[in-house]
Amino acid sequence: MPLARLRFAMPLAALLGVMHTLSFAPNHWWWLQILSLTGLAALVQRAPRLRDAAWIGYAFGLGWFVSGVWWLYISMHVYGDMPAWMAALAVLLFAGYLALHPALAVWAWQWLTRRGRWSGTASALIFGAAWAVTEWLRGTVWTGFPWINGGYAHTDGPLAGYAPLVGVYGIVLIAAVLAGLLCVAAERRLHWLAGIAGALVLVAGWPLHGIAWTQPVGKPISVRLLQGNVPQDVKFQQTGIERSLELYTKMVTEKPAQLVVTPETAFPIMIQEMPQEIALALRTYVDATGSSVLFGAASEDSRVDYTNSVFGIGPQFQGVYRYNKHHLVPFGEFIPFGFHWFVNMMNMPLGDFRRGLPVQPPMAVADQRVAPNICYEDLFGEEIAASLRHADQPATMLANVTNLAWFGDTIALDQHLQISRMRALETGRPMLRATNTGATAVVRPDGSVQARLPVFTLGTLQADVQGTQGLTPFVRAGNAPALGLGALVLLVACVRRRRASAD
């Protein structure tokens, strides 16, 4: 590809990356996710050299991630007091790192298919496999960052029906194969059987979405989800701490419910520092009403042992229930080696926390068992599936407690709700979301939103929620089927390429 054409192709690829972001919440344009990948594949196929293909994929990734996670700038500059230039540069560098994955995907696709005769269907399958495997790498390496994974765009589309079967990475594989088929169809006559197969795969998602992979268990419980809307810029100052303690104590004890859930760090102090009058008020409320309470707070178990936790009190057990966050956020909850200088540039209450166990028991509430996860953890569907798969008594509903006030009134709030909806689809369980500023919501096992509060409002969301039992195929097998298929396709393509090179 001449330099002039490459200079034209890269901005176009970046624009396609922005289009890819537009397919996610709050827009829910699932079809745009497939079309943007189709455009990328078409551009890459016109690149005469592998390095040109990689640069086009990299430009797509930059457009995708800069437009998709720009809100990280808000947390670092607005709330972290980092200089604007440094925060902007940090977002750009982070997006540049993430963009290596789509660059690797298209490079591998072209490297594997440019020798030997490949049918359009086979080429599309290799494209999908490369895309899915590199997306999995992005969500795994260096603890992973699977935000705006391509599969999340399909929570409202026909491919949502595949979530309980193969999970979000399986949907990524299917969507990328469909994009590859569209690309081939646009450039040459596609074999009619392949066209029919692609259409059937897409359409089959609708009836699959109607299958109930789990079953209701026990009686529904009354749930109250609290949204305090405490401004982030004062939350960890003394006035904000006092406000939060008073506000959430009042909101919790306002009226009875079988389960009351607060956001992450709703009580922005160490649990050991909880004022006696607040602890007594919560216990009195539980004893008098028979309610159970899940509330967020940190814990200082020793001078060097901190956890980000959810604590629970209720009538069905003695003492205090505790869940410790397992999947910690780099730079937020643990500091990677050599990056203390970067964290020191921000005025945030950050530090190194201890990880909780991968599998922790749920909290019993009436006929249900509620498994908490904290903020970022519900991005990792395999880990949530494993916690259900290996539990002695699997949870019947999930509860995500979070504080996205760090990112202001941005697309991050809707994106995170979309992620929680995918977890409900994958596990066949309702998801309760209690957030500080939004989106506080109840998600049904089919991924639809039963109820939600407006963002950046003070309020309580009350609903009756039915728990479910049973394990979906995805919970039983995790990512293994989708990734195994992707790895097998790439392996076969690699072997065939070597044979073609030897001839």
Helices (H), 69-119: 72-73, 84-98, 100-113
- The one catalytic residue in 135, 235, 333, 375 is 375
Q: Is 24 in a helix, a strand, or coil?
A: coil
Q: Is 274 in a helix, a strand, or coil?
A: coil
264 catalytic per annotation: yes
Q: How far apart are CA 308 and CA 124, in angstroms?
A: 44
Q: Are 68 and 407 in contact (CB under 8 A)?
A: no
Strands 259-261 and 221-227, bridge-based pairing = parallel
- Encoding tokens for residue 216? 């209701």
Q: At 46, phi and psi to the nearest 5? A: -90, -5
Q: Are 121 and 181 in contact (CB under 8 A)?
A: yes
Sequence-ordered strand ranges (E) for 466-501? 468-469
- The one catalytic residue in 135, 264, 333, 377 is 264
Q: How far apart are CA 218 and CA 243, in angstroms?
A: 38
Helices (H), 162-264: 163-187, 192-209, 232-235, 238-252
Question: What is the strand order of the sheet 431-435 is part of?
Answer: 363-365, 368-374, 397-402, 431-435, 441-443, 449-452
325 catalytic per annotation: yes
Give me the residues paired with residue 463 across strands.
223
Q: How far apart are CA 227 and CA 35, in angstroms?
A: 37
**Cα angle 61-62-66, degrees, rounded to a multiple of 5:** 120
255 catalytic per annotation: no
Nearest of 371, 224, 351 to residue 298 by alpha carbon:
351
Strands 368-374 and 397-402, bridge-based pairing = parallel
Nearest of 135, 157, 159, 158 to residue 147 by alpha carbon:
135
How far apart, in Å, are the Cα atoms of 78 and each of 220, 340, 351, 380? 42, 20, 19, 28
Q: Is the dihedral of CA 47, 52, 58, 64 positive or negative?
A: negative
Residue with tokens 């992450």: 264
Q: Are 229 and 262 in contact (CB under 8 A)?
A: no
**Cα angle 210-374-227, degrees, rounded to a multiple of 5:** 85
- Encoding tokens for residue 82? 């980092």
Q: How far apart are CA 155 and CA 159, in angstroms?
A: 8
CB atoms within 10 A of CB 338: 7
Q: At 117, phi and psi to the nearest 5? A: -95, 115
- Encoding tokens for residue 272? 């050991």
Residues annotated as catalytic are: 264, 325, 375
